[in-house]
């Protein structure tokens, strides 16, 4: 995929995190390719408020892929047609969310309990839209001795999937234990489509190491970006042989202010300030002194004054 070749370090889809405000923040520090929060097929088909919020792409929010999820192949196919009308960079199928309320009903990583059904679902969606279709999944459902990802990668390529993102844990592991990147390498070795490695990418050095150890076409960064969006800038610098420039205190303050302003503009004062507090980590060592007053601030003006 050309978009991945141009932007091999990708911001992961994270529910209640990678919304348009946070995508804009991450783009400002080097995350040129982003993926939306996942959107349910049913939500898309009824044009719910959540779907409108998550699957609407503004002109400055590109390239961005839209990620959809669901347990019913036909509903996913119909939702894919609707989502494709927004002309995202590509459409990503969530086959990796391990959260029980998602996976236990057959959506997300629930598809890994029936890999052949997952492949057939992907085939139908590839045939239904004129955009690249990608899949984000895990190395298997579990236990660790049962990891179908290598054969699954071949089968997904055979039905026209354009790229594969592999979170290198099983669904049963959730976020526990270490991600085993060797599975991304093994899958990459048997397919010609791009493979993106995901899981335990915590620092810019991890990005460089993940590329070197797996030979993958891309690296996807998730939770590490929440407290340190500069990881994209730093990884790009390391890959180019340049020295990392850590964020200054002024950059940290300005980033928190931008997050608060964006969220208040989108959600209103009370909800916007509440959501912004999950990103207090961007303040780094400054958070020790600023956390309590920022959590107590009830207006945008007070928040911006504290962050200035």
Total number of residues shown for the chain: 308
Which uninterrupted H or E stretch holds 267? helix 249-267
How far is it, in rounded angstroms, from Cα 52 to Cα 43? 9
How far is it, in rounded angstroms, from Cα 63 to Cα 146? 35
Q: Which two tokens stand for residue 228?
A: 């340190």
Which uninterrupted H or E stretch holds 303? helix 300-307
- Cβ atoms of 195 and 187 within 8 Å: the answer is yes
Q: Provide the 10 A C-beta neighbour count for residue 238.
A: 17
Please list the residues that pair with 138 across neighbouring strands: 167
Q: Give catalytic status of residue 26 as yes or no.
A: no
> Which residue out of 26, 97, 168, 216 is catalytically annotated?
97
Q: Which of 104, 183, 147, 137 is nearest to 38 (CA)?
A: 137
Question: Which DSSP symbol is given to 65?
Answer: E
- Cβ atoms of 152 and 119 within 8 Å: the answer is yes
How far is it, in rounded angstroms, from Cα 69 to Cα 297? 36
Q: Which active-site residues does the annotation give?
A: 97
């Amino acid at each position: 995929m050309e978009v991945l070749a141009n932007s091999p370090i990708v911001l992961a889809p994270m529910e209640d995190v990678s919304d348009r405000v946070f995508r804009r923040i991450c783009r400002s520090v080097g995350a040129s390719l982003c993926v939306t929060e996942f959107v349910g097929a049913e939500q898309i088909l009824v044009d719910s408020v959540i779907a409108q919020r998550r699957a609407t792409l503004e002109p400055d929010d590109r390239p961005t892929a839209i990620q959809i999820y669901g347990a019913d192949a036909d509903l996913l196919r119909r939702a894919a047609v609707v989502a494709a009308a927004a002309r995202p960079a590509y459409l990503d199928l969530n086959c990796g969310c391990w959260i029980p309320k998602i996976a236990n009903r057959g959506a997300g990583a629930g598809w890994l309990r029936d890999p052949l059904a997952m492949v057939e679902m992907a085939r139908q969606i590839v045939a239904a839209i004129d955009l690249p279709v990608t899949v984000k999944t895990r190395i298997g459902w579990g236990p660790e001795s049962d990891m179908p990802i290598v054969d699954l990668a071949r089968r997904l390529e055979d039905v026209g999937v354009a790229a594969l993102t592999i979170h290198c844990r099983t669904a049963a592991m959730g976020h526990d234990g270490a991600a085993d990147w060797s599975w991304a390498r093994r899958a990459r070795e048997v397919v010609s489509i791009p493979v993106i490695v995901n899981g335990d990418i915590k620092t810019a050095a991890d990005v460089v190491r993940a590329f070197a150890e797996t030979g993958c076409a891309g690296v996807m960064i998730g939770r590490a970006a929440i407290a340190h969006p500069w990881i994209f800038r730093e990884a790009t610098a390391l890959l180019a042989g340049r020295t990392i420039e850590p964020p200054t205190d002024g950059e940290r303050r300005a980033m928190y202010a931008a997050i608060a302003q964006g969220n208040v503009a989108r959600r209103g004062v009370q909800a916007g300030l509440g959501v912004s507090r999950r990103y207090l980590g961007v303040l780094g060592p400054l958070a020790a002194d600023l956390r309590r007053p920022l959590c107590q601030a009830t207006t945008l003006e007070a928040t911006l004054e504290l962050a200035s």
